[in-house]
Amino acid sequence: MSPRNRWLSGFAVVIYAFLFAPIVVLIVFSFNDSRRTFVWRGFTLNWYPTLFENAGLIDALRTTLVVAAVAVVVSTILGSLLGLGLARLRFRGRGATETLLLLPMVTPEILMGISLLIFFFQLFGAIGSIGQISLAHITFCISYVAVTVRARAAGMDPKLEEAARDLGASAGGAFRYVTIPMILPAIVAGAMLAFALSFDDLVVTQFNYGVGSETLPIFIYSSIKFGVSPQINAISTIIVAVVSIALLVAWRLGAFRQERPSLAVEDAPAT
């Protein structure tokens, strides 16, 4: 190993430790036998079973999952169509559409939060609900899905669709049996991203939730501000565990392999 290599590797270890230190602390303290969460008092598993007796927390989790499900389905459909259209079609207003797509990604979240709050209240008198949160989440998820799908669709060989058409497929058939399967990995990736964004969102939600529609991040935020329970650590640990396992499984299954669809790759008979 060259000295520079060794120096860099040491630095990398420090940064990885920095990235994971809070997560390790979080997990360790979820087993802490103390109401006050920041002093170590001994080991307990108590916080995990009591988690499920906390009605507010379970309600919040349910709301979060409902919102995420709606946001994922709608934003994946709208975003995939948009990304596909941008990759494959030339039309007037394409440049403007690209800009419109990028804007939500370069706008601070708080602005999207307050603008939707004003929009819903001033125009409809709405003061926050699961529906309002869902609409807001769809709005910030669309761009991420569209960008992901566009990247894949732009790398896809248009000759594949033409080949299907030449072989007698209808436009709809070519779309259904050639285009969709080819961009499916990007659609799935976009949907996963949308789920993560929606599940984790605090800022936009904070301006659009109402009584009875608190999401998990809202519940956690108010717990942190007004008296923490070690249950927060426990639920966080469960979330970290689920996410880690999902990511590692996806990695083992090769979900992150970079590949570009083209005629050459698809020569093998489809099964």
Partner 1 sequence: MASTAAARPLTADPEPPLAVHRSLRNRISARLGAVLLVAPGVIWLIVFFLVPLGIIFVVSLGTKDAAGHVVLDRLGLQNYAQATRPEYLPAFANSLRYALITTILSIGLGYPIAYWISRYGGQRKILLLILVMLPFWTSYLIRTYAWMIILRDNGVLNGILRSIGLIDEPLILLNTDLSVILGMTYGFLPFAILPLFVSIDRLDPNLVQAARDLYASGRGAFLHVTLPLTMPGVIAAALLTFIPAIGDYVTPDLLGGAQTTTAAKLIQVLFTSGRDWPYGSALGFILMIATLGGTLLALRSLRRETFA
Per-residue binder mask for partner 1 (CB under 8 A), 89-108, x = binder: xxx--xx-xx-xx-xx-xxx
Q: Which is nearer to partner 1, 127 or 269 (CB)?
A: 127
Counting residues that bind partner 1 (by CB under 8 A) gives: 94
- CA pair distance 47, 37, nearest whole angstrom: 11
Residue 67, class by beta-carbon neighbours within 10 Å (0-12 exposed, 13-18 middle, 19+ buried)? buried
- Interaction with partner 1 in 53-82: which residues (CB under 8 A)? 78-79, 81-82
Interface residue with partner 1 among 67, 117, 147, 234 (CB under 8 A) is 117
Kindly state whether residue 271 participates in binding partner 1, applying the rule CB under 8 A: no
* Selected binder of partner 1 within 25, 45, 249, 265 (CB under 8 A): 25
Using CB under 8 A as the binding rule, whether residue 9 contacts partner 1 is answered as yes
43 binds partner 1 (CB under 8 A): no
Please choose, out of 41-49, 53-61, 86-94, 182-190, the segment that lies near partner 1 by the rule CB under 8 A.
Answer: 86-94
Q: How far apart are CA 155 and CA 56, in angstroms?
A: 47
**Contact by Cβ (8 Å): 136, 205:** yes
Among 26, 66, 73, 169, binds partner 1 (CB under 8 A): 26
x-marked contacts with partner 1 along 126-145 as a string, rule CB under 8 A = ---------xx-xx--xx--
Determine the Cα–Cα distance for residues 243 and 186; give it in Å rounded to an integer. 19
Q: Which is nearer to partner 1, 57 or 142 (by Cβ)?
A: 142
Sign of the CA dihedral running 237, 238, 241, 244: negative
Considering only residues 202 through 241, tell me which ones interact with partner 1, judged by CB under 8 A: 202-203, 206-207, 217, 220-221, 224-225, 228, 232, 236, 239-240
Site for partner 1 in 147-206 (CB under 8 A): 151, 154, 157-159, 161, 171, 196, 199-200, 202-203, 206
- Nearer Cβ to partner 1, position 106 or 268? 106
